Amino acid sequence: MNKVVKDADEAIYDIEDGMTLMLGGFGLCGLPENCISALVRKGVKDLTCISNNAGVDDFGIGLMLKKRQVKKMVASYVGENAEFERQLLSGEMEVELIPQGTLATRCMAAGYGMPAIFTPAGIGTEVAIGKEIRNFNGKDYLMEMAFEADFALVKAWKGDTMGNLVFRATARNFNPVMAMAGKVTIAEVEELVQPGELDPDHIHTPGIYVHRIFQGTDYEKRIENKTHRKKK
């Protein structure tokens, strides 16, 4: 099976209106930047996007929000995007806020083939409205369903042509669990190498989970917020 594709446009060719996408990354680290740009160019709409965050106004998923491509956003943090706030408050976009650990575990459950998880996070809050609650050993737990995503779009530091992936630092946060969870997983990498060039002990995502892979270009090393120490 040849998993290597030429670029992001070829990788996302069959993503269509109304689909559900997982997008890896944490803050502005490890975002599938090339795939997001390709989705903007293609103009697909009515998407449900599952991600740790919604990017910022001019970067990440924020670029898709500007084009009104996102129908529903499922995320755990959304505090840096003014356009997101506008669409939420105006009712243009549906938003599901999820505790961060629950978000990660629902991704992991999908990758493991588990239909649901039980978690104490969200009990007694709006998160629990309309959901099943069970009691185990005297403590209430909320049942959360595993995600069902048509595609998972992830970004790795290195990968080989068989789809094995290595992530760096913060980019390792949500990318590996999302790579496991998509019906089709597309990986963009900063460096694409031949099989055998990656140390097996350093591989974070085995190639069996990855369906398409390509070497990306023009990555930005963004810093979300800069803090400067005052001069004495």
Predicted confidence (pLDDT) per residue in 33-72, tens digit: 999 999 999 999 999 999 998 888 889 999 999 999 999 9
Q: What is the pTM of this model?
A: 0.91
**To the nearest whole number, what is the mean pLDDT of the chain?**
93
Instruction: Collapse the DSSP code of 148 into the 3-class scheme (helix H, G, I; strand E, B; otherwise coil) and give the result.
Output: coil
**pLDDT at 77 (0 to 100):** 87
Give yes or no for residue 152 having a pLDDT over 70. yes
User: What's the rounded mean pLDDT across residues 182-191?
Assistant: 97
Domains and CATH numbers, the chain: 18-114+147-215 (3.40.1080.10)
Which positions ≥6 away from 24 have C-beta within 8 Å? 30, 31, 32, 51, 152, 153, 154, 155, 171, 174, 175, 178, 179
Name the pLDDT band for 107 (thresholds 50, 70, 90). very high
Report the alpha-carbon distance of residue 7 to residue 83 in Å, rounded.
29
The torsion defined by the Cα of 9, 12, 18 and 23, in degrees rounded to 10, comes to -110
Report the alpha-carbon distance of residue 16 to residue 128 in Å, rounded.
31
Q: Give the DSSP H/E element, type plus range, for residue 17.
A: none
**pLDDT at 211 (0 to 100):** 97
E strands in the chain:
20-23, 47-51, 70-75, 94-97, 116-119, 133-136, 139-145, 151-160, 165-166, 184-193, 212-215
Name the pLDDT band for 218 (thresholds 50, 70, 90). confident
Which positions ≥6 away from 78 have C-beta within 8 Å? 53, 54, 84, 85, 88, 95, 97
Confirm if 64 and 40 have CB atoms less than 8 A apart: yes
Instruction: Collapse the DSSP code of 65 into the 3-class scheme (helix H, G, I; strand E, B; otherwise coil) and give the result.
Output: helix
Q: Which residue has the tokens 């069902």?
A: 148
Confirm if 194 and 213 have CB atoms less than 8 A apart: no
**pLDDT at 212 (0 to 100):** 98
User: What's the rounded mean pLDDT across residues 174-178?
Assistant: 96
Q: Return phi, psi of residue 193, to 5°.
A: -125, 175
Q: Report the Cα–Cα distance between both ends of the chain, in Å, rounded.
A: 61
